[in-house]
Amino acid sequence: MTARSGRRPRGSLAATLAALVAVGCAVGGVGDGGPQEPAEPRPQQSRQASSPGPQTTRADGTTSVAEFKGDIEDAVDIAERYWAAQFQASGQRFSPVRRVVPYQRDGELSCGGQPLPRNNAVYCSQGDFIAYDVNWSVAAFRQVGDAFVFYLLGHEYAHGVQVRLGIRYSFTIQQELQADCMAGAYLGDSVRDGVLTLDKGDLDEFRDGLLAVGDDPDQPWFAEGSHGTAEQRTDSFFRGYRNGLDACDLS
Ligand SMILES: [Zn+2]
């Protein structure tokens, strides 16, 4: 995936995925004060994550931390411009999510008084920031591909937009599937606008990433913290990706 500003395009990896941890999201709640969504790490991933072997390193070698950081910066930049344009089009003022911060250790950052666990990425409404475990995110970037970084950021950014729009569903899963749809719209529209260029394999990377972050099949859909099965998440994401925000029930 290449941003127009442009670093060089990359190949992609047909990733052999271990169960990636689920994207945790919205710790501290989308809307109300209290922390409401504990992360749902599947911690078996973390050890191999911090020292990926050759089987998890993409063959083209474009998986450095510097490249990861560049992709995060591009993803943030494109998200800000995308949402600013959407808000402007409907006559509303947009303020970007205040900060996007990496962390490395349990409890290094907290949201609304709740320490953020490793192996996660969240949007924290209290501080209006996105935080991500950098080791976990880099491992996912290496395992799934650069498209995952854009998806992850797009999903968390969407939670910030939900707060700005005052959208708050009764069930976590509704909030999460909408965020997947919005992430899809942000990416699909950016591709249609020529802001982003997909490389061969990027769509598969989205699918791989969404498969990896789906809930376990036995997770009740109404449970606190439910994000949706891999199939539900993939459906939502691609509905937004293909059709733009109209598919996401924002109004
Ligand atoms: Zn989420």
- Contact assessment for residue 117 and residue 39, using Cβ atoms and an 8 Å cutoff: yes
CA 24 to ligand 1 center in whole angstroms: 6
Distance 54 CA to ligand 1 centre (A): 30
pLDDT at 4: 77
CA dihedral 124, 90, 148, 50 (to 10 degrees): -20
CA of 193 to the centre of ligand 1 (A): 25
* Helix 146-165 × helix 202-213 angle, to 10°: 60
**Residue ranges of the chain whose pLDDT lies below 50:** 6-23, 26-61
Give the closest residue to 12 by CA, choosing from 207, 195, 205: 205
Between the CA of 60 and the centroid of ligand 1 the distance, in Å, is: 31
pLDDT digits (tens, 9 = 90+) for 161-193: 999 999 999 999 999 999 999 999 999 999 999
Q: What is the pLDDT of residue 62?
A: 62
**Cα end-to-end distance, the chain, whole Å:** 30
Residue type, 154: G
180 Cα to the center of ligand 1, angstroms: 8
The residue behind tokens 């509704």 is 174
Rounded to the nearest angstrom, the distance between the alpha carbon of 25 and the centre of ligand 1 is: 4
Give the model's pLDDT for residue 224: 84
Ligand 1 centroid vs 229 CA: distance in angstroms? Answer: 13
Q: Tell me the CA–centroid distance for residue 89 and ligand 1, in Å.
A: 25
In this structure, what token pair is assigned to residue 227?
């994000």
Q: Ligand 1 (ion): which residues have CB within 5 A?
A: 25, 176, 179
pLDDT tens digits, 148-167: 999 999 999 999 999 999 99
The helix or strand, by DSSP H or E, that contains position 89, with its residue range, turns out to be helix 65-89
Instruction: Say how many Å lie between the CA of residue 90 and the centre of ligand 1.
Output: 24
**Whether the model pTM is above 0.85:** no
Q: From CA 78, how far away is CA 8, in angstroms rounded? A: 17
Predicted local distance difference test score (pLDDT) of residue 213 = 85
Ligand 1 centre from 178 Cα, in Å?
9
Task: Kindly give the distance from the C-alpha atom of residue 52 to the centroid of ligand 1, in angstroms, as a whole number.
Answer: 26
Long-range interactions of 57-65: CB distance < 8 A, separation 24+: 57/142, 58/10, 58/11, 58/12, 58/13, 58/142, 58/145, 59/11, 59/13, 60/10, 60/11, 62/8, 62/10, 62/11, 62/146, 63/141, 63/142, 65/138
pLDDT tens digits for 208-230? Answer: 889 888 888 888 888 888 999 99
Classify each residue of 60-80 as buried b or exposed e, where b means 16 or more C-beta atoms within 10 Å of its C-beta.
Answer: eebbeeebbebbbebbbebbb
| Token digits of residue 191 | 């591709």
Ligand 1 centroid, distance to 62 Cα (angstroms): 28
Q: From the CA of 42, how far away is ligand 1's center (Å)?
A: 16
C-alpha separations of 166 from 125, 188, 201 in Å: 12, 24, 36
